[in-house]
């Protein structure tokens, strides 16, 4: 397959193994994931602009590292209110803290520009023979569970790492040059909101209770964001028997034919 031209739209580019060369990427937010997004895409030939409303010494220090390599930065709240007016943007990759009603993200959606999470970008950029993904979300217990999962996988002799909302950024783990066997992903509802394709080998929603409702706009939208983790699951969707919302999310999920629903309970199997 030939490489895409520099003007090939991002949605027309083949994936897995998405080639980002020549893409004009706007990264919104320069936290841990923002740094990883800018770094990994710049290394692969993308033209990257980062905007962040904050101008802390820590942010400026991190920005100086990537500026030397060609990443452009615009720091301050005035740069987060709308899309840049002096350039075309092919793709917006947003940090999870940015709300869906944030003016710049709304402007991107209105202009038909794809808005992705780091997770979506990592899934598309990862090679077809890359690591399997095991996804974990829920209102409570995510970090404990993903840490246990990482330990179980490593003790089984697999090269595995916890990533996402804990540990490494997903894009770094997915594109690691040595290659992991399995990624244990802790994913928040914020990350899942901007993610369309996960295609986990297996995934679990531990529980769903009222949380972050102002960010999502209500309890239904919050639950639906959590349920995105089941989309494209290949082997097993794990849910809590004690929490009917988690079962409903499994029932509504579009999974690979043959994937099983596995209920967790405190009683005997």
Can you spell out the DSSP letters for 133-197? EEEEE-SS-HHHHHHHHHHHHHHTT--EEEEESSSB-HHHHHT-TT--SEEEEE--HHHHHT---
Q: Could you tell me the CATH number of the domain that includes residue 39?
A: 3.40.50.720
Last-in-domain residue among 70, 90, 121: 121
Quick: pLDDT tens for 128-152. Answer: 999 999 999 999 999 999 999 999 9
Q: CA–CA separation, 60 vs 83, rounded Å? A: 21
Do 136 and 253 fall into the same domain? yes
CB of 206 closer than 8 Å to CB of 138: yes
Identify the segments of the chain with pLDDT beneath 50.
Answer: 1
Q: Containing domain of residue 181, as a range?
A: 130-264
Contacts for 64 with CB less than 8 Å, ≥ 6 apart: none
Q: Do 102 and 165 have their domain in common?
A: no
Distance, in Å, from the CA atom of 170 to the CA atom of 163, rounded to the nearest integer, reads: 5
Among 77, 93, 121, where does a domain finish? 121
pLDDT at position 23: 98
For residues 69 and 181, state if they share a domain.
no
On whether residue 199 sits in a domain, the answer given is: yes
Residue 145 lies in a domain: yes
| Tens-place pLDDT, residues 55-93 | 999 999 999 999 999 999 999 999 999 999 999 999 999
Backbone angles phi, psi at 100, to 5 degrees: -60, -25
Q: Residues 115, 135: one domain? A: no
Same domain, 94 and 151: no
106 & 187 share domain: no
Is residue 143 located within the same domain as residue 247?
yes
- 123 with 200: CB under 8 angstroms? no
Kindly state whether residue 2 falls inside one of the protein's structural domains: no
Domain tally, the chain: 2
- Same domain flag for 113 and 136: no
Distance between CA atoms of residues 231 and 266, nearest Å: 26
Q: What is the CATH number of the domain that holds 162?
A: 3.40.1190.10
Are 91 and 15 in a shared domain? yes
In sequence order, the 6+-apart residues with CB closer than 8 A to the CB of 191 are 96, 117, 118, 119, 164, 165
Whether 79 and 18 share a structural domain: yes
Q: Tell me: do 100 and 135 sit in the same domain.
A: no
């Amino acid at each position: 397959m030939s490489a895409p031209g520099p003007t090939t739209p991002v949605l027309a580019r083949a994936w897995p193994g998405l080639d980002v060369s020549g893409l004009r990427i706007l990264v919104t937010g320069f936290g841990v994931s923002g740094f990883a997004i800018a770094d990994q895409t710049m290394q692969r030939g993308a033209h990257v602009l980062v905007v962040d409303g904050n101008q802390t010494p820590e942010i400026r220090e991190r920005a100086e590292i990537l500026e030397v390599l060609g990443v452009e930065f615009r720091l301050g709240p005035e740069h987060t209110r709308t899309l840049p007016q002096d350039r075309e943007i092919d793709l917006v990759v947003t940090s999870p803290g940015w709300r869906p009603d944030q003016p710049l993200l709304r402007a991107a959606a209105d202009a038909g520009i794809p808005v992705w999470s780091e997770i979506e970008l990592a899934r598309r950029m990862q090679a077809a023979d890359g690591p399997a993904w095991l996804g974990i979300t829920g209102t409570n217990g995510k970090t404990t569970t993903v840490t246990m999962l990482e330990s179980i996988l490593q003790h089984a002799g697999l090269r595995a790492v916890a990533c996402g909302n804990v540990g490494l950024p997903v894009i770094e783990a997915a594109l690691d040059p040595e290659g992991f066997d399995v990624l244990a992903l802790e994913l928040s509802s914020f990350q899942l909101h901007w993610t369309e394709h996960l295609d986990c080998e297996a995934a679990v929603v531990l529980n769903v209770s009222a949380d972050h409702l102002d960010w999502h706009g209500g309890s239904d939208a919050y639950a639906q964001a959590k349920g995105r983790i089941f989309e494209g699951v290949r082997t097993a969707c794990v849910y809590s028997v004690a929490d009917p919302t988690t079962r409903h999310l499994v029932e509504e999920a579009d999974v690979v034919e043959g994937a099983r629903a596995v209920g967790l309970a405190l009683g005997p199997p």
